[in-house]
Amino acid sequence: MILRHLTFRNFLVFYGEQHLTFPSDQSENVTLVLANNNTGKTSIIRGLKFLFYGSDALALSKFARSPSAIINERAANEAKKGDDIEGYVDLTFSLGDDIYRFRRSVLASRTNEGLDRGEEILSEYVESESGAIRIIKDSGGIMENRLRSWMPRGLFDAFYFQGEPLDGKMLEGVGGMHQVLTGFLHIDKWEEAADALGKVQQDYERQLNTIAAASREYQGKLTTLQTTEKRLGETKAQVTKLTLEIQELEAREAVLSEELKTLGNTDDYDRLVQHKTDLRSRIDRLEADIDRAHERLGQIIEASQGAPFLLSAVEPARRVLRELEKNNVLPADITEGFVQRILKEKTCVCGRVHDESSRQHWERYLKTALSAKLSHRFLDVLNRVSEGSKRGPVELAAQTRRDLTETQARIERCKKDLHAARQEQEAVDEQIRQNPHTNQKARIAEVVDALRTVSRQLSDAKEKRGSAEGLINNLTFTAGKLRKEAEMAKPKGKAAAQIAEVERAIKLTGELREFLSDYRISLRKRFHEQAQALISALYDPHAVDRTRARIDPNSFLPQIINQEGKPVTMVGGGQQTLLSLAYVSALAQLRKGIHETMRELNLYLGKADDQSFMVDSPFAATDPNYVRAIASFLTGGARQVIILMARQQWDQAAQHLLPKASKVYALRLHSKVSELKNLHEEDFDFVVGKKTLRLIAPAEDVKQRYTEIMEIA
Amino acid sequence: MPAIRFPASAIPLLSLCKGHGENFIFRTYADLIGFLAAYGFKLSADYDEPLPTKLEFASNPNAIELDIFSNRGLYSNFLIIAMWYETWKAYSTDDDLLCKLIEKHVALGAIHLSRILGESDSRMSIVELLISDKIEPSEITI
């Protein structure tokens, strides 16, 4: 529904006739209405509500029982006793290619006590081809119903909202939402249509039975066939029901899986746990290294043979050995044992008999000679203590010290690394303790449990559907066979032609029922997919904090999620407004899409078109970033927008809205000066471009305040 | 057969040997004896610690025959120690005498080392002794 012209006559604050014309082209779609508080912004929305639903819909106590209460006070006071006075709202709008004009008026008479109750009249203004206007008054509420089908009552607050859209009736809860969506998407009508088709089919079957009564055999076959087909229909209905149930369960499963994914989005936690495991391995490795190094120290100590302690003995030993070498004792060329054997003999080694001299000579030698064993031992020592020996205490001491120092350094390094690793481990333990995932285990368990239940139910439902589908195959086969038999037994002549006609009607009705059944199954899924795609396209590019909009697949309610996919619970006014606008806009587009699809299928659900939006003060409690985002959305994302701007929001939003506005109206208040004692005239100043508009016209002669609509750009 | 007896003062150090503790250093008693003899020598030679005159020996472990030391390459060290003394010839030609000399060094080393090890981590203390050129001998009453 695109608004074109709106006229008020003596309606609420509007005295006399006041007009608003709204640009409706795709490229020129923004209208601004500037007004101070309490000067008529809300009266514009009330005017639309009055037009669509009558004075009863204006939820103000003073209007509750008297339609004439909508008549402007000044106009009412100016009327003389006995005069008739009229107040109305006149709206021209388009739906697709068609243009409509409706007027709802209240005609009241002036009495001594003021206006009488008045009469409320709804009329349509129809232009004939010749250009003449014909006024048609509503009769029997037909016009009321048309208007309400084009602008369902439940949707009005969403399209023409005053402040907090998501707080409105449309979104008061999942149940309420479902009810609204049912009406919004005409789901109730589909069910009505399916029921009606069922009744039509039964009528046809009754007709067929009447014709068939002429042939007993044919009637018998037909009865069996109809019983089989009835059972077939019931089984198909069962499959439809199960399929819908499966869709519900799959949606529930998806929600739970999503939550589990969010809860189980434990990248940080997993990383920490992995880090802790790595650290534990590193600590174990370092501890093992230290143990091995200690073991190595023991091996070095043992292998040292205490050599570093013997260094003082090396030089004396060398001296002794040098002396022995000098005296030709070492190495022992003739050992002590050899000398003793010679002395025991009668003759010397030279063959002469021993005499005193030779014996003395040998005994002198004996005093200095070494045993063979001792000679070997000294030679071994000599080898060890010689300069450059690899086996002696000097080299062994040096090697020992090198090995020990190196191993000690290795131990120190390992200990240092171990200390660092343990400190890091403590830090990681602390991070794990503070990680929210640690405390989410209970919820994860619940979700996993619920997921198991849903999966089981899903599996059961699928199994039942499988069985039902098997039964359908059998019944279809049986029905086919019976149909052939019935065909054979079918009466001939005129009756045959009648039967063929009725059968064709039954077949068509059945096909239509099946189509509706299938379409209902896919509707829910399609609705969610399309709503998600639309709201993503409408919200995501405008969200300055890189949040995203998500449609819950179960409730269809919108929510805001952060970059990690987690719901954002602390939502500011600006974000909320942007989300609401995107959601309502997405629903409007979806509704239009469904209407078009149904029209292609020759199912007429009433008219639906692109939707106009009228928003009252959308920038309340909004930070500058969202002012820009909302302005950008309104002026680019919606088909037609009428923005009612209060003085206090104008300064921050003007720069974003003015360049996009095709029309700018202002509401000027005419008031007594005395009524302004607590106000300053400057409070009514709006800066529009280079001009300053003062939206108040104080005058002494004005008895009752009223508002004038001025077109300013 | 000449053999070196196990000084009673070395009993506390048995924990350094395999079979007496998890963190052993010496796989045989002979290795411990050889090490203690060298340490005792340093104390005596470099720090004038007197060799004990009266020794007591443990009945267990048994005395270790000199050949065993030879087989483990420790006999040379004993001879090197012996050659430090003026009476080296007597020690080197008489194994029994050599054994008695070594027993005294072992006892001295054991007394000192037992005291050190009683205070701190055995392995690291020994490492310190081996690396450091200087040993701060405590007053040892033998």
Does the CB of B27 have a partner CB in chain A at under 8 Å?
Answer: yes
pLDDT for the residue numbered A524:
67
Average pLDDT, chain A: 82
Candidate ranges A48-62, A193-207, B87-101; pick with highest mean pLDDT = B87-101
Give the pLDDT mean for A689-701: 80
Residue A421 binned pLDDT confidence (cut-offs 50, 70, 90): very high
Higher pLDDT among residues A554 and A386, named by residue: A386
Of A192-196, A213-217, A431-435, A570-574, the least confident = A570-574
Query: Is the pLDDT confidence value at A7 over 60?
Result: yes
**Taking CB atoms and an 8 Å limit, are A305 and B35 in contact across chains?**
yes
**Taking CB atoms and an 8 Å limit, are B79 and A305 in contact across chains?**
no
**Taking CB atoms and an 8 Å limit, are B41 and A309 in contact across chains?**
yes
Say if CB A591 and CB A608 are below 8 A apart: yes
In chain B, the residue whose alpha carbon lies closest to the alpha carbon of A393 is: B77
Domain membership flag for residue B138: no
Domain membership flag for residue B114: yes
pLDDT for the residue numbered A101:
95
Determine whether domain A2-151+611-711 maps to CATH 3.40.50.300.
yes
pLDDT for the residue numbered B142:
39
Closest CA to A308 of B118, B135, B83: B135
**Taking CB atoms and an 8 Å limit, are A310 and B77 in contact across chains?**
yes
Domain residue limits at B27: 3-131
Residue B100 binned pLDDT confidence (cut-offs 50, 70, 90): very high
pLDDT for the residue numbered A59:
64
pLDDT for the residue numbered A279:
92
Does the CB of A378 have a partner CB in chain B at under 8 Å?
Answer: yes
pLDDT for the residue numbered A606:
59
> A702: which strand partners?
none
**Taking CB atoms and an 8 Å limit, are A393 and B93 in contact across chains?**
no
Closest CA to A33 of A697, A655, A681, A661: A661
**Taking CB atoms and an 8 Å limit, are A301 and B92 in contact across chains?**
no
Beta-sheet pairing, A663-671 with A558-561: unpaired
Give the pLDDT mean for A266-274: 77
**Taking CB atoms and an 8 Å limit, are B83 and A380 in contact across chains?**
no
Beta-sheet pairing, A640-645 with A30-34: parallel
pLDDT for the residue numbered A595:
67
Query: Is the pLDDT confidence value at A608 over 60?
Result: no
Domain membership flag for residue B139: no
Does the CB of B130 have a partner CB in chain A at under 8 Å?
Answer: yes
CA distance to partner chain A, nearest, from residue B138 (Å) = 17
Closest CB to B80: pick one of A314, A374, A400: A314
Give the pLDDT mean for A614-618: 79
**pLDDT above 70 coverage of chain A, percent:** 85
Give the pLDDT mean for B71-100: 93
Query: Is the pLDDT confidence value at A171 over 50?
Result: no
pLDDT for the residue numbered A64:
52
Does the CB of B42 have a partner CB in chain A at under 8 Å?
Answer: yes
pLDDT for the residue numbered A560:
84
Candidate ranges A131-135, A188-192, A634-638, B55-59; pick with highest mean pLDDT = B55-59
Domain membership flag for residue B15: yes
- What total number of domains does chain B contain? 1
Higher pLDDT among residues A281 and A159, named by residue: A281
Give the pLDDT mean for A663-671: 90
Query: Is the pLDDT confidence value at B137 over 50?
Result: no
Of A3-12, A91-100, A549-558, A590-599, the least confident = A590-599
Domain membership flag for residue B107: yes
Interface test with B, best of A302, A314, A405 (most B CBs within 10 A): A302
What values do phi and psi take at A701, rounded to 5?
-85, -5
**Taking CB atoms and an 8 Å limit, are B130 and A374 in contact across chains?**
no
Residues in Cβ contact with A640 at an 8 Å cutoff, skipping those fewer than 6 apart: A2, A3, A22, A23, A24, A29, A610, A611, A612, A613
Give the pLDDT mean for A39-68: 81
Residues in Cβ contact with B77 at an 8 Å cutoff, skipping those fewer than 6 apart: A305, A306, A307, A310, A393, B34, B37, B38
CA distance to partner chain A, nearest, from residue B139 (Å) = 19
pLDDT for the residue numbered B119:
65
Other CB atoms within 10 Å distance of the CB of residue A222: 24
Q: For A297-337, write each residue's pLDDT tens digit.
A: 999 999 999 999 999 999 999 999 998 888 888 887 778 88
**Residues of chain A contacting B77 with CB distance shorter than 8 Å:** 305-307, 310, 393
Residue A265 binned pLDDT confidence (cut-offs 50, 70, 90): low
Q: For A522-549, write each residue's pLDDT tens digit.
A: 666 777 787 788 778 777 877 777 788 8
**In whole angstroms, what is the distance from residue B101 CA to residue B51 CA?**
9
CA distance to partner chain B, nearest, from residue A325 (Å) = 15
Residue B37 binned pLDDT confidence (cut-offs 50, 70, 90): very high
Which amino acid appears at position A67 of this protein?
Answer: P
Domain boundaries along the sequence of chain A: 2-151+611-711, 272-332+370-434
CA distance to partner chain B, nearest, from residue A270 (Å) = 39
**Residues of chain B contacting A400 with CB distance shorter than 8 Å:** 130
pLDDT for the residue numbered A168:
40
pLDDT for the residue numbered A170:
41
A 382-441 residues with CB below 8 A of B?
384-385, 393, 400-401, 404-405, 408
Higher pLDDT among residues A460 and A264, named by residue: A460
**Taking CB atoms and an 8 Å limit, are A381 and B79 in contact across chains?**
yes
Query: Is the pLDDT confidence value at A283 over 80?
Result: yes
**In whole angstroms, what is the distance from residue A629 CA to residue A560 CA?**
15
Which amino acid appears at position A555 of this protein?
Answer: S
DSSP-derived secondary structure for A208-243: HHHHHTT-HHHHHHHHHHHHHHHHHHHHHHHHHHHH
Q: Cα angle at A239 between A233 and A240, to 5 degrees?
A: 90
Higher pLDDT among residues A673 and A506, named by residue: A506
pLDDT for the residue numbered A520:
67
Of A15-29, A244-258, A583-597, the least confident = A583-597
Query: Is the pLDDT confidence value at B138 over 50?
Result: no
| A·B CB contacts under 8 A | 101
Domain membership flag for residue B140: no
Of A162-176, A234-248, A581-595, A639-653, the least confident = A162-176
**Residues of chain A contacting B131 with CB distance shorter than 8 Å:** 308, 401, 404-405, 408
**Taking CB atoms and an 8 Å limit, are A305 and B34 in contact across chains?**
yes
In chain B, the residue whose alpha carbon lies closest to the alpha carbon of A314 is: B80
pLDDT for the residue numbered A167:
41
Query: Is the pLDDT confidence value at A179 over 60?
Result: no
Higher pLDDT among residues A504 and A436, named by residue: A504
Domain membership flag for residue B7: yes
Residue A555 binned pLDDT confidence (cut-offs 50, 70, 90): low
Query: Is the pLDDT confidence value at A163 over 60?
Result: no
Closest CB to B88: pick one of A301, A309, A320: A320
CA distance to partner chain B, nearest, from residue A440 (Å) = 46
Domain membership flag for residue B117: yes
